[in-house]
Amino acid sequence: MSLISLSPLYFSALTAYLLGWPGYGLLLRLGVIDKPNARSSHGVPTVRGGGVSIIATILCAITLWLCIETGAGSQKTILAAVGGAVLVLAGVSFMDDLRSVGARLRFGCHAAAALAVLLTAGIPRTAFGGNLGLVVTAGLALVGFLWVAGHTNAFNFMDGINGLAAGQAVITGLATAGLAWAVGLTPDHPIIWLALITAGAAAGFFPHNFPRARMFMGDVSSAPLGFLLAVLGWWLACEAGWWLLLPVGLIHANFVLDTGFTLVRRILRGERWHEPHREHFYQRLVRSGRSHADVTLRELALQSINAGVVIYAVKAGGGWVLLAAVLVAAVWIGFFLYAERGFRASKA
């Protein structure tokens, strides 16, 4: 991609960064403060909800695209639905930042947003026909729903230390654009455009949150970002082929696997899985004595390398994607075992 084709990345980064300053002042005046407790990973009161600058940037960009672009057809419909869903999720999530919102309402909104995407973006096409084709299509519809709704929650759960969620959004946004480019989509395609906008907006917020956090992203941004990144991957599979679901999953593997393993562990212990906690592997690393910056940089470095491997594998074709899947899974499982061993050693 040329520097010009990356212009959405630059403009959204600058916009989100600049919006962060007045956003901080407004949230401070409103008293939207995250106070430390036994289930948090920070030690001082910090402004929460600063990620509103990310969402404002993304929604303004989508609105501008819808007003300017002509003749986009179904792509315009999908983008309008995505923008509407992001707005609703951000609204409900901001209410949760201001005062706790019931889990049923939050998860209900996540489910409704996922269904809206399936109804507009559709289901990835397959070569199967007849009854088998119907079964496969139904299965993919279920996968799509679980993927979008589940990743919305997973991303929200993983926003717990300085810079991790924002950095993840930058890398996975860029990786999604890279996958789209690798399968032949042009830089002006709305998937690549929106992926760059998302990555740029998260990058603009990053300096406000890392290495020391002036403000936290908050649910107002973490839930919509998780939704948006999942939607971009699903939309890409609908456009270019169902087999891309594997590479898409691989570029999100660290958040998905960390959330999945932690969720299973909490359920087996009989704990309330949807309540805040400090049991994720990245949180265990912090609890073992490592700084937020150390843990974030380690995980983002691995994520960057893995994303590059996946893009290369998709571009190379053949069995490279399966090889990349084995490699990525091994890297993250190894990282989690490293985190677990460090945590247990610190408690010995």
Bridge partners of 33, per DSSP, are: 47
Is residue 2 a part of any domain in this protein?
no
In this prediction, residue 128 carries a pLDDT of: 61
Using DSSP, state whether 40 is helix, strand or coil.
Answer: coil
**Residue located via tokens 């084995």:** 326
The predicted model gives 7-26 an average pLDDT of 96
Contact 120, 81 (CB under 8 A): yes
For the chain, percent of residues with pLDDT exceeding 90: 76
Nearest Cα neighbor of 91 from 139, 121, 56, 125 is: 56
Picking from 228-237, 270-279, 324-333, which range would have the lowest pLDDT averaged per residue?
270-279
Q: Which domain holds residue 168?
A: 7-347
Looking at the structure of the chain, the number of domains it has is 1
| Cα angle, residue 51 at apex, residues 40 and 290 outer, rounded to 5° | 35
The DSSP bridge partners found for residue 47 are 33, 215
Q: How far is it, in rounded angstroms, from Cα 252 to Cα 260?
A: 12
How far apart are alpha carbons 282 and 339 in whole angstroms?
7
pTM, two decimals, is: 0.94
Q: Does a structural domain hold residue 125?
A: yes
> Does 1 map to a domain?
no
At 180-221, the pLDDT tens digits run: 999 999 998 999 999 999 999 999 999 999 999 999 999 999
What is the structure's pLDDT at 348?
Answer: 53
List the 33-34 sheet strands across, edge first: 33-34, 46-48, 215-216
Q: Counting Cβ atoms within 10 Å, is residue 238 exposed (0-12), middle (13-18) or buried (19+)?
A: buried
Q: What is the β-pairing status of strands 215-216 and 33-34?
A: unpaired
